């Protein structure tokens, strides 16, 4: 009798197999917004509460696993079919689904009787031929939970007549009965995907079309439990009245185009049950204290617009327990007689009202093409944000450069001990940074949960000791320095980085901009693609050396002694 190994018994557990198969590489495609996103909602309203949706990056491997054995087939196929970017694979299960001229596909289905506005009849003798394949379509259609279809009309290679046939066959039943997440352009066929299980809907491409109101009405009738509705462009004002009837709507994205005016903003503000709102503001008349915006449940606000509109909106936003705030400031000329210091004082003042609740904050200047010199802002203008003690995520991108020093970065690290992500970037770096390696030491000592760090500091071997003074085991994984490398002593810099952050997975930074001279040949490369590539390679070499030393000694090793090899 062949003994059953423990690993074999473990693979017999479906939950373990499901977890293993999920590790076959999530997609990093930025267009797939469902990647590694945990969907929230009431378990009573959603059968897949808390489930992670992602697009497997290695579909071939999952297909091979499905063909490997019966034990693997169901779970591998479930993951493989769960997220789709087209319904072509599903309809391809029908034997009559064929391409014509390499672009459009046509299909014959089991339809009896004439089709509206079409002089076509399907004979009953054809029913028996594709009955089996259509059953397979229904079986696999129930596996699809997320459908994300590109808004590019050229990418839609299914002839409209196919959808007419599908509608006749389904008789108002959804094509994907268990669909949870839908991203699709407004079109006639989008109605085929409306099911009572829908919880997230994104209208990509052009919204504001004639079919928008009809689709929202159908969504309200057949999928009243929708919690998340988004549009790439602004909803029509008439659509807001329909959206207000969704009793379970908690997330609303009105698109990246400016709304039509102050009445539109007030209508959106009337959705007092919203937890998350994405909105782009136009330039409207200055709000008064009487224009109170009451959104007592709002926790996440993503807002963009000109400075005055954002300032007025934030000041009028009352009783909103914001946990996450993201602001994109549209470019505008500085008012006469004002400076960048005045501008940032004006911007940060209304944010200070949420210092007790904010955990995520993002402040971004809209990028502009300008030949202006680098503008400097005194670091003291940053002080209003230091009171946000619960901050875990902070992204700051500015056209002006804040003069942060080691002592000020120390204040930031002391003020935000729960930081997990810190991204500070200034688009111009004509002046040499005043902060140094000591800033990294401050964050390594005071922010134990930090995993992603991007700073503007000056790393130079002349300011470093021969051996690292501080040996830590901080869990930082990604480090980005927003200034070019000005030193060629890569190994010394790498030793100090590994001494603080031994688990670094990515190290990168801005590259130098060198003037090209056609008459002068470039010097031979030193073996690396760039300065920061050299540092990253040296970091990996230090890590491999430390691990090799640990394996040889079979005992914990001090990073300092391992780095001494270099």
pLDDT, position 457: 93
Residue 38: band (very low, low, confident or very high) from pLDDT cuts 50, 70, 90: very low
- Residue 57 falls inside a structural domain: yes
pLDDT, position 208: 52
Look at the chain and count its residues: 566
Q: Percentage helix, strand, coil, to 5, in the chain?
A: 35, 15, 50
pLDDT at 176 over 90: yes
Going by DSSP bridges, is the β-strand pair 146-148/181-185 parallel, antiparallel, or unpaired? Answer: parallel
pLDDT, position 19: 79
Q: How many domains does the chain have?
A: 1
Place of tokens 């109605």: 191
Residue 34: domain span: 11-84
- Residue 68 falls inside a structural domain: yes
Q: At what angle do helices 406-415 and 437-446 cross, to 10 degrees?
A: 10
- Residue 76 falls inside a structural domain: yes
pLDDT at 470 over 80: no
Better-scored residue on pLDDT, 53 or 448: 448
- Among 483, 470, 475, residue whose Cα is nearest residue 449: 475
Task: Please tell me the pTM assigned to this model.
Answer: 0.81
Residue 551: band (very low, low, confident or very high) from pLDDT cuts 50, 70, 90: confident
- Residue 349 falls inside a structural domain: no
Going by DSSP bridges, is the β-strand pair 37-38/52-53 parallel, antiparallel, or unpaired? Answer: antiparallel
Q: Which of 76-90, 356-370, 525-539, 548-562 comes out lowest in average pLDDT?
A: 548-562
Better-scored residue on pLDDT, 13 or 453: 453
Better-scored residue on pLDDT, 28 or 407: 407
User: How far apart (Å, rounded) are the C-alpha atoms in residues 474 and 484?
Assistant: 24
Residue 357: band (very low, low, confident or very high) from pLDDT cuts 50, 70, 90: very high
Better-scored residue on pLDDT, 475 or 5: 475
Better-scored residue on pLDDT, 468 or 398: 398
**Structure tokens given for 101:** 């001229």
User: How far apart (Å, rounded) are the C-alpha atoms in residues 418 and 546?
Assistant: 29
Q: What percent of the chain has pLDDT over 90?
A: 37
Per the prediction, the chain carries an average pLDDT of 79
User: How far apart (Å, rounded) are the C-alpha atoms in residues 486 and 287?
Assistant: 49
Bridge partners (DSSP) of residue 326 are 302, 362
Answer for the pair 196, 223: CB distance below 8 angstroms, yes or no.
yes
Q: In what helix (H) or strand (E) does residue 561 lie, and over which residues does it extend? A: helix 559-563
pLDDT digit string, tens, across residues 329-350: 998 777 777 888 999 999 999 9
Over range 182-201, report the average pLDDT: 92
pLDDT digit string, tens, across residues 243-266: 999 999 999 998 877 776 778 888
Better-scored residue on pLDDT, 415 or 517: 415
User: How far apart (Å, rounded) are the C-alpha atoms in residues 506 and 263?
Assistant: 47
- Among 286, 364, 365, residue whose Cα is nearest residue 331: 365
pLDDT digit string, tens, across residues 497-509: 999 999 999 999 9
- Residue 475 falls inside a structural domain: no
Residue 283: band (very low, low, confident or very high) from pLDDT cuts 50, 70, 90: confident
Distances (CA, A) of 156 to 27, 86, 159, 168: 21, 8, 8, 21
- Among 467, 397, 462, 414, residue whose Cα is nearest residue 436: 462
- Residue 560 falls inside a structural domain: no
Q: Which of 122-136, 274-288, 457-471 comes out lowest in average pLDDT?
A: 122-136
Distances (CA, A) of 262 to 268, 282, 300: 10, 8, 21
pLDDT, position 41: 34
Residue 325: φ, ψ to 5°:
-135, 125
Answer for the pair 277, 301: CB distance below 8 angstroms, yes or no.
yes
Which range is most confident: 394-398, 488-492, 532-536?
394-398
Q: What percent of the chain has pLDDT over 70?
A: 76
pLDDT, position 366: 85
Distances (CA, A) of 191 to 14, 170, 185, 218: 35, 12, 11, 8
Residue 533: φ, ψ to 5°:
-65, -35
User: How far apart (Å, rounded) are the C-alpha atoms in residues 466 and 492?
Assistant: 7
- Among 298, 398, 282, residue whose Cα is nearest residue 348: 398
Over range 178-192, report the average pLDDT: 91
pLDDT at 328 over 70: yes
- Residue 159 falls inside a structural domain: no
pLDDT at 53 over 50: no
CB atoms closer than 10 angstroms to residue 101: 6
Q: Which of 146-155, 235-244, 349-358, 518-527 comes out lowest in average pLDDT?
A: 518-527
Residue 320 neighbours by CB under 8 Å, 6+ apart: 293, 295, 296, 298, 299, 301
pLDDT at 29 over 50: no
User: How far apart (Å, rounded) are the C-alpha atoms in residues 454 and 424?
Assistant: 6
Q: At what angle do helices 490-500 and 531-553 cross, to 10 degrees?
A: 60
pLDDT at 17 over 90: no
- Residue 22 falls inside a structural domain: yes
Better-scored residue on pLDDT, 234 or 397: 397
Better-scored residue on pLDDT, 525 or 291: 291
DSSP calls for 327-342: EEEPP-PPPTT--HHH
């Amino acid at each position: 009798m062949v003994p059953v190994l423990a690993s074999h018994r473990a693979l017999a557990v479906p939950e373990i197999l499901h977890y293993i198969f999920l590790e076959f590489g999530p997609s990093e495609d930025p267009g797939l917004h469902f990647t590694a996103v945990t969907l929230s909602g009431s378990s009573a309203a959603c059968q897949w509460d808390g489930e992670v949706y992602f697009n497997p990056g290695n579909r071939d491997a999952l297909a091979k696993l499905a063909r490997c054995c019966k034990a693997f087939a169901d779970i591998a196929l479930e993951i493989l079919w769960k997220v789709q970017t087209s319904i072509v694979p599903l309809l391809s299960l029908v034997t009559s689904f064929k391409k014509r001229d390499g672009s459009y596909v046509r299909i014959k289905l089991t339809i009896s009787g004439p089709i509206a506005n079409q002089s076509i009849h399907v004979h009953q003798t054809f029913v028996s031929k594709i009955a089996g394949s259509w059953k397979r379509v229904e079986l696999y259609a129930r596996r699809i939970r997320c459908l994300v279809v590109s808004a590019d009309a050229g990418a839609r290679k299914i002839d409209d007549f196919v959808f007419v046939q599908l509608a006749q066959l389904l008789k108002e039943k959804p094509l994907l009965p268990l669909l949870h997440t839908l991203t699709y352009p407004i079109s006639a066929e989008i109605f085929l995907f409306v099911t009572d299980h829908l919880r997230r809907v994104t209208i990509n491409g052009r919204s504001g079309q004639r079919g928008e109101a009809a689709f929202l009405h159908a969504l309200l009738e057949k999928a009243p439990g929708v919690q998340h509705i988004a549009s790439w462009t602004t909803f029509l004002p008439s659509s807001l009245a329909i959206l207000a009837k969704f009793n379970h709507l908690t997330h609303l994205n009105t698109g990246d185009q400016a709304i039509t005016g102050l009445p539109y903003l007030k209508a959106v503000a009337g959705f007092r049950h919203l937890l998350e709102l994405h909105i782009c503001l136009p330039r409207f008349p200055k709000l008064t204290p009487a224009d109170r915006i009451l959104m007592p449940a709002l926790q996440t606000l993503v807002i963009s617009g000109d400075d005055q509109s954002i300032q007025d909106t934030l000041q009028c936003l009352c009783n909103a327990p914001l946990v996450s705030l993201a602001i994109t400031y549209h470019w505008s000329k500085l008012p006469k007689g004002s400076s960048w210091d005045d501008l940032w004082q004006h911007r940060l003042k209304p944010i200070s009202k949420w210092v007790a609740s904010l955990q995520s904050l993002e402040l971004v200047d809209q990028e502009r093409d300008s030949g202006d010199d680098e503008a400097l802002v005194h670091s003291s203008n940053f002080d209003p944000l230091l009171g946000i003690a619960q901050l875990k995520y902070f992204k700051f991108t500015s056209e002006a450069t804040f003069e942060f020093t080691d002592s000020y970065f120390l204040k930031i690290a002391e003020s935000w001990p729960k930081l997990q992500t810190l991204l500070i970037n200034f688009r111009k770096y004509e002046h040499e940074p005043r902060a140094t390696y000591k800033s990294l030491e401050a964050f390594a000592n005071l922010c134990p949960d930090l995993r992603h760090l991007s700073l503007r500091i000056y790393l130079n071997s002349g300011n470093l000791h021969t051996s690292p003074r501080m040996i830590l085991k901080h869990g930082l994984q990604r480090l980005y320095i927003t200034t070019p490398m000005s030193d060629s002593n890569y190994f010394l810099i790498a030793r100090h980085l590994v001494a603080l952050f031994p688990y670094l997975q990515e190290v990168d930074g801005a590259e130098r901009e060198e003037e090209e001279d056609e008459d002068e040949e470039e010097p031979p490369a030193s073996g690396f693609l760039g300065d920061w590539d050299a540092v990253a390679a040296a970091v990996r070499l230090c890590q491999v050396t430390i691990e090799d030393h640990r394996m040889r000694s079979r005992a914990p090793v001090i990073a300092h002694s391992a780095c001494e090899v270099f």
